């Protein structure tokens, strides 16, 4: 008799555990969906906030930087070409 009662009690406890777990899972699913929405919204707010802090160079600055870049590219192209000519000349002597 006692064994039967304990089995029944165990069965009741197990069903209670299952229902508690199920409700926890359901709550987790709902909160995950809500969290994703909140994360997306907060992400866009953060992006907007960070982009407002960015300082883009003016047109005048961009022209100045572009000219400097082109100058250095041409300078180093000529420099390496001259070095290569010198090396070729030395190699031809040997």
Report pLDDT digits (tens) over 4-34. Answer: 555 555 555 555 555 555 555 555 665 666 7
**pLDDT score, position 76:** 98
Mean per-residue pLDDT over the chain, rounded? 80
Q: Are residues 48 and 61 in the same domain?
A: no
**pLDDT score, position 71:** 98
Q: Are residues 6 and 44 in the same domain?
A: yes
* Residue corresponding to tokens 């883009």: 56
* Longest CA pairwise span in the chain (Å): 111
Specify the pTM. 0.45
Q: Are residues 35 and 76 in the same domain?
A: no
Q: Are residues 48 and 74 in the same domain?
A: no
Q: Got the DSSP string for the chain?
A: -HHHHHHHHHHHHHHHHHHHHHHHHHHHHHHHHHHHHHHHHHHHHHHHHHHHH--PPPHHHHHHHHHHHHHHHHHHHHHHHHHHHHHHHHHHH-
Q: Are residues 61 and 48 in the same domain?
A: no
Band of the pLDDT at 42, cuts 50, 70, 90? confident
Q: Are residues 25 and 68 in the same domain?
A: no
Q: Are residues 9 and 49 in the same domain?
A: yes
Give the chain's domain count.
2
For 55, left (φ over 0), alpha (ψ -120 to 50), or beta? beta
Domain, as residue range, for 11: 1-54
């Amino acid at each position: 008799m006692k064994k039967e009662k304990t089995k029944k009690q165990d069965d009741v406890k197990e069903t209670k555990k299952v229902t508690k777990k199920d409700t926890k899972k359901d709550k987790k699913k709902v909160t995950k969906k809500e969290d994703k929405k909140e994360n997306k919204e907060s992400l866009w707010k953060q992006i907007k906030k960070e982009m407002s802090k960015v300082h883009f160079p003016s047109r005048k600055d961009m022209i100045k930087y572009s000219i400097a870049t082109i100058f250095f590219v041409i300078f180093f192209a000529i420099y390496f070409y001259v070095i290569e000519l010198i090396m070729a000349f030395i190699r031809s002597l040997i």
